[in-house]
């Protein structure tokens, strides 16, 4: 009898970490975007690649994330139709588009510094850029889907004051960004 996919992924990751070998895993997120993570035993050396559902739009990231959290802001709720999303922020210098196709880009009027990017073919949301903060956001991955989970494990719930449902976990709940706003619990 085999292990469920999540348990199998966790077992493979644990084995690779113990062996200090480079490992790579692929995941498909709920939005249909594909994410590939490579881990070389040091979380600062993590490389991520991702694409939209159909593979026309793709990107690469390197280094350690600035933030990994569950976002409950009303913009994320309205854009995804979900009560919250897993978002991972990286410095803009760590982000590279790796495709030749054009992107559909849009800006929300009340946040002109934030540009969201979608695939023009399948419509999947791929990433967003924040020119004010100098970062890119990607993600929406689940535990066991990425072998570098320790590097991208969410550390908090952000914008929890606008949540659609309570989440009974041990993570801190913040009014805005973790450490830069009031803690709500």
Domain assignment present for residue 185? The answer is no
In this predicted model, which residue has the larger pLDDT, 150 or 157? 157
Best-predicted range by mean pLDDT (78-87, 115-124, 158-167) = 158-167
If DSSP states are collapsed to H, E and C, what string results for 117-142? EECCCCCCEEEEEECCCCEEEEECCC
Assign residue 123 a region (left: φ > 0; alpha: ψ between -120 and 50; beta: otherwise).
left
Which range of residues forms the domain containing residue 152?
5-173
How many domains does the chain divide into?
1
Residue 29, pLDDT > 80, answer no
What is the CATH number for 157? 2.170.150.70
- pLDDT score of 179: 92
User: Considering only CA atoms, which of 7, 5, 56, 62 is closest in space to residue 32?
Assistant: 56
Domain assignment present for residue 137? The answer is yes
- Per-residue pLDDT tens digits for 104-151: 999 989 889 999 999 999 988 889 999 999 999 986 655 544 556 667
Domain assignment present for residue 133? The answer is yes
Domain assignment present for residue 43? The answer is yes
Domain assignment present for residue 25? The answer is yes
User: Considering only CA atoms, which of 10, 36, 40 is closest in space to residue 25?
Assistant: 36
Residue percentage of the chain with pLDDT more than 70: 69
């Amino acid at each position: 009898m085999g292990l469920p996919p999540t348990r199998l992924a966790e077992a493979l990751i644990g084995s690779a970490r113990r062996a200090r070998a480079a490992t790579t895993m692929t995941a498909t997120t709920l939005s249909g975007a594909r994410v590939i993570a490579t881990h070389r035993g040091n979380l600062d050396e993590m490389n991520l690649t991702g694409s939209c559902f159909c593979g026309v739009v793709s990107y690469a990231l390197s280094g350690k994330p600035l933030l990994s959290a569950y976002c409950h802001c009303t913009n994320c709720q309205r854009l995804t139709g979900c009560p919250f999303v897993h978002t991972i922020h990286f410095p803009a210098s760590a982000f590279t588009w790796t495709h030749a196709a054009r992107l559909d880009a849009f800006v929300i009027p009340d946040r002109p510094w934030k540009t969201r990017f979608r695939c023009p073919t399948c419509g999947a949301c791929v990433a967003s850029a924040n020119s004010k903060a100098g970062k890119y956001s990607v993600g929406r991955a689940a535990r066991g889907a990425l072998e570098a989970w320790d590097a991208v494990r969410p550390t908090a719930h952000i914008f929890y004051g606008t949540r659609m449902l309570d989440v009974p976990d041990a993570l801190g709940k913040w009014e805005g960004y973790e450490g830069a706003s009031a803690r709500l619990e």
